[in-house]
Amino acid sequence: MSEQTPIYPVPSPEEQRRANRSLMITVVALTAAVVAIVIIGFLCLNHPDNITEGQVDGTTVRISGKLPGRLAEVYVHEGDTIAAGDTLARIHSSVVEAQLAQAEAMRNVARAQNRKAEAGTRSQIIEAARDMLAQAEAAQTIAKKTYERMQNLYNDGVVTAQKRDEAKAAYDASTAQVGAARSQLNLALEGAQNEDKRSAAAMVSAAEGSVEQVQAVLEDSYLIAPCDGTIDQIYPETGELVATGTPIMSVLKHERQIIFNVREEMLNTLKMGQEITVMIPALGQKEFKARIFYIRDMGSYAVWRATKATGQWDSRTFEIKARPVNAIEGLRPGMTAILRD
């Protein structure tokens, strides 16, 4: 039994036109629907804001030693929160301690000299002055007796007035010598002794000053925190030798600032003292207010290159800095910050 080829009916020209018309209507309808969806999406879609990306920054303070020596003790650890005035570390300096011992020894010597001056000095000079006074007084006594005898003889008419006057002059001279000798003794007892006292007191004062100076230097063996903050890094290990000015540790201050590099056309909307809104992605996109405190006067080398065919121009960037108006918990240096137009 032979197979028979199925016979399909051939559509008429009218049916063919109707089918083509239906297909065209379907294509037009689909195209219109796609265009409508695109237009609606374009109209309903929010244009993204222009954003400027910046970074949270902090101020680091280096703590250095003023003395050469060995790092004896460190009282803090990295990450510790400290306050201004806290003791951070101690440097043992054998050189300065030796200088202190020497200064104290010199002070003790000066004090001994001062005590000696207070007790009295120059006994030989004093004794010599006393001897001179005794001799002058003895000579005065003899001259006085001679004058009195001559006066009596003159009264009796035995000697002339000249002899009497010569005896009177000798007596007056001896009296003057007694006064001079007494003055020398007073100088020996008071003037010279006071000079020694002043000299000894000056030596004590100088020695005391030397001791205080070395003690002040020795106080610098303790490193004191200059500000509130957090211990960021500790460089040497305990027991290591450190030179004068060697950084021992760094302190990150609690104060935070936000740094942006903005295009120059944005400067028209950013002013000193202005509050801006900053968003931190790392803190769950937390937004907060910050106040601009610095705008760099000179544009940086970073340049936004424009396509000349579009008629735009190259735009330089300017650095601005802002501080949070209120303290933000968890805000750390290095975090990304977003500034929206």
Domain range annotation of the chain: 51-59+252-340, 94-219
- Give ∠ CA 294-295-297 in degrees, rounded to 5: 130
Rounded Cα gap, residues 262 and 16, in angstroms: 66
Q: 261: buried, middle or exposed (CB in 10 Å: 19+, 13-18, 0-12)?
A: middle
pLDDT value at position 1?
Answer: 43
Q: What SS3 class is residue 180?
A: helix
User: Which range is least confidently modeled, 63-77, 192-206, 227-241, 321-335?
Assistant: 192-206
**Higher confidence at residue 315 or residue 226?**
226
User: Which range is least confidently modeled, 83-92, 142-151, 216-225, 241-250?
Assistant: 216-225
pLDDT (tens digit, 9 = 90+) per residue, 171-198?
888 888 888 888 877 777 765 466 666 7
pLDDT value at position 232?
Answer: 92
pLDDT exceeds cutoff 70 at 6: no
Rounded Cα gap, residues 72 and 223, in angstroms: 11
Residues in CB range of 129: below 8 A, 6 or more apart: 181, 184, 185, 187, 188, 189
Rounded Cα gap, residues 175 and 164, in angstroms: 17
Is the Cβ–Cβ distance between 130 and 185 less than 8 Å? yes
What's the pTM value of the predicted model, to 2 decimals? 0.51
Q: Residue 56: count other Cβ atoms within 10 Å of its Cβ.
A: 20
Q: For residues 31-42, give the mean pLDDT.
A: 73
- What's 51-59+252-340's CATH class? mainly beta
